[in-house]
Amino acid sequence: MIAGIITNKEKDPALSYTAQVREFLIGHGVSISENFPTDADFWVVLGGDGTMLRCAHLAAMHDIPLLGINLGTLGFLTDTEKPDGLEVLQKVLSGEYETEKRMMLEAEGHLALNDVFVGAAGGLKTFDLYVNGHLLDTIRADGIIVATPTGSTAYSLSAGGPLLMPGGQMMVVTPVCPHSLSTRPLVIGAEDTVRIVAHQACPIIVDGENIGETQPHIGVFVCKSMHSATIIKTTHAHLYDVLRKKKFI
């Protein structure tokens, strides 16, 4: 068995916890690589949701499951917290786990596990929003988010969007600070295609990374990706349990 270990060095600066994980796995006959091995059976991700997001794109393209051990503050994608990490690894090696497939989006050739954002915070702009080629609305807002169910607990939630169950097949389109009382988030089907046409140039942000800038009146297309992220789960905690634990509800 081959495992990759990916560490957020800001969360484990001395790499002491990383060393514990490495020694545990080697002691159980697992070969280790720390360079995003695409032939691995799974990756152990040491960090938080941001670290999981950064790993998810490459892992999805190679169908590699991710096991997240949370060293940060929020942990919607991670399976467990640091104190229970070695116990969870033992469960995985013993086959005591399930995998969850998480829908991903594609925009401008980039994968998104959480969301695609077109806009700029604090800068009111005008957008034409199309769904399946039909003009839905012209919106004045700071920007527009298109989020997966996984991403519904991230930026979209902060902007007033609804919570979606992680395994769902749908998208939520959430305007950010719209200049209208009637503009509301919209839940659409996974097979729908969104086109966002910005009247002014603005950044395109995919899972928190700036991938470029829109051209005026040229649309950004967002659709479901053929790839999906595979998340390892050793517990049966429901999203509501996680939300309560993180004091979101």
Residues 138 and 200 reside in one and the same domain: yes
Tell me how far the alpha carbon of residue 104 is from its chain's centroid. 8
Residues 238 and 212 reside in one and the same domain: no
Residues 135 and 220 reside in one and the same domain: yes
Contacts of 23 (CB under 8 A, 6+ apart): none
- 12, 39, 49, 115: the active-site residue: 49
Q: What is the CATH number of the domain that holds 162?
A: 2.60.200.30
Give the pLDDT band (50/70/90) at residue 246. Answer: low
Q: What is the CATH number of the domain that holds 31?
A: 3.40.50.10330
- Please report, for residues 28, 36, 100, 180, 204, the alpha-carbon distance to residue 55 in angstroms, rounded to integers and kept in the order given: 24, 8, 16, 37, 20
Residues 119 and 84 reside in one and the same domain: no
pLDDT given at position 15 = 95
pLDDT given at position 247 = 56
pLDDT given at position 245 = 63
Tokens representing residue 108 in the block: 């401008």
Residues 46 and 115 reside in one and the same domain: no
- Cα–Cα distance measured from residue 236 to residue 22, given in angstroms and rounded to the nearest whole number: 26
Residues 76 and 182 reside in one and the same domain: no
Residues 91 and 140 reside in one and the same domain: no
Domain extent at residue 51: 2-97+234-245
Residue of 185, 191, 169, 156 whose CA lies nearest to 76: 156
pLDDT: which is higher, 239 or 185: 185
Q: Tens of pLDDT along 20-68? A: 999 999 999 999 988 899 999 999 999 999 999 999 999 999 999 999 9
Residues 110 and 216 reside in one and the same domain: yes
Residues 80 and 153 reside in one and the same domain: no
**How many domains are contained in the chain?**
2
Q: Tens of pLDDT along 102-134? A: 999 999 999 999 999 999 877 799 999 999 999
Q: Is it the case that residue 231 has pLDDT exceeding 60?
A: yes
- Cα–Cα distance measured from residue 7 to residue 108, given in angstroms and rounded to the nearest whole number: 28
Q: Are the C-beta atoms of 54 and 46 separated by less than 8 Å?
A: no
241 is catalytic: no
Residues 219 and 132 reside in one and the same domain: yes
Q: Tens of pLDDT along 141-198? A: 999 999 999 999 999 999 999 999 988 999 999 999 999 888 999 999 999 999 999 9
The verdict on pTM exceeding 0.75 is yes
- Cα–Cα distance measured from residue 25 to residue 156, given in angstroms and rounded to the nearest whole number: 37
Residues 90 and 128 reside in one and the same domain: no
Residues 220 and 112 reside in one and the same domain: yes
